[in-house]
Amino acid sequence: MAASDEASRPFAGLSDVSISDDIAVEGDISVPVGPSARRDDEFSTLDEPVRETVLRDLRAVGKKFVHVLYPKRSAALLRDWDLWGPLLLCVTLALLLQGGAADSDYQGGPQFAEVFVIVWFGSIIITLNSKLLGGTISFFQSLCVLGYCILPLTAAMAVCRIVLVAGSGPVSFAVRLAVVTASFGWSTFASTAFLADSQPANRKALVVYPVFLFYFVIGWMVLTFSPSQ
């Protein structure tokens, strides 16, 4: 009795509480189909219309585009990585780089597959490099950031093609050079804003340089695009 007295002392105030009979204190183990099913609906996306699914992903991609345009470190962007945006940007860039000066027997611009190889293998190599140097960012997060930060360069490519329609003299070249340089700087700045924090301070430059080289090469491809006459 002494033991139960000591045990019940913390619950002393409850001694006068009585449980009414109509509260169910017993149940069964079967899956509830009543009101608690509502909580499941928030996670189960199997029953929603396809339009809803597509729109949700598009909204996520669009939100990340906005993050790239106004780069500031945001944990949400890194946590919810996705590779739709990079794929979309890579395909757009590769398509816009087509139709260049490609004589059949002379060397021309990068082929569609070459753009893909450079973007994806470049991103993978930079990610491996940053992980080998001891970075704390995960593999796919880094691919996601690098891919999304191609957005300014893709926009520059679209602008360059429009400018090239107007003419391809020195003035148009100067305009294209300015646009490509600005977007290259923007891309590098945006991606280092996300990536550099994950490295120890004495290796930041070692991680930033390959990113710089990557966007420089893409910028070069954009700038040297020359249309076939």
Partner 1 sequence: PHGSEIITGFGSLSEFEEAGNLLEANRDATTISIEDDEIKPEKQRQAAAFSPAGEDEDPLASDDKTELLSGQKKSVPFWTFEYYQRFFDVETHHVKERIIGSVLPWPGKNFIHTHLRRNPDLYGPFWICTTLVFAIAISGNLANFLTHLGKPNYKYTPEFQKVTIAATAIFSYAWFVPLALWGFLLWRNNKIMNLVSYSFMEIACVYGYSLFIYIPTVVLWILPYEWLRWCTIVVALFLSGSVLGTTFWPAVRDDHPKVIIAIMSSIVVLNALLAVGCKTYFFSKPEDLLPGELSSATEVTKAPHTT
Q: Which residues bind partner 1 (CB under 8 A)?
A: 100-101, 103, 106-111, 114, 129, 131-134, 202-206, 209-210, 213, 216-217, 220-221, 224-226, 229
DSSP string, 38-59: HHHHHH--SSS-HHHHHHHHHH
Nearer to partner 1, 85 or 215 (CB): 215
Q: In terms of Cα–Cα distance, which of 222, 202, 34, 41 is closest to 115?
A: 222
Nearer to partner 1, 68 or 180 (CB): 180
Find residue 227's DSSP bridge partners: 100
Min dist CB 229 to partner 1, Å, is: 8
Nearer to partner 1, 140 or 209 (CB): 209
Min dist CB 200 to partner 1, Å, is: 8
DSSP string, 89-109: HHHHHHHHT-SBS--SSS--S
Min dist CB 176 to partner 1, Å, is: 13
Min dist CB 85 to partner 1, Å, is: 25
Q: Which helix (H) or strand (E) holds 211?
A: helix 204-223
Min dist CB 97 to partner 1, Å, is: 10
Nearer to partner 1, 189 or 209 (CB): 209
Distances 173 to 152, 180, 218 between C-alpha atoms, Å = 18, 10, 17
Q: Both ends of the chain: CA-CA distance in Å?
A: 101
Nearer to partner 1, 68 or 222 (CB): 222
Contacts of 190 (CB under 8 A, 6+ apart): 68, 71, 149, 152
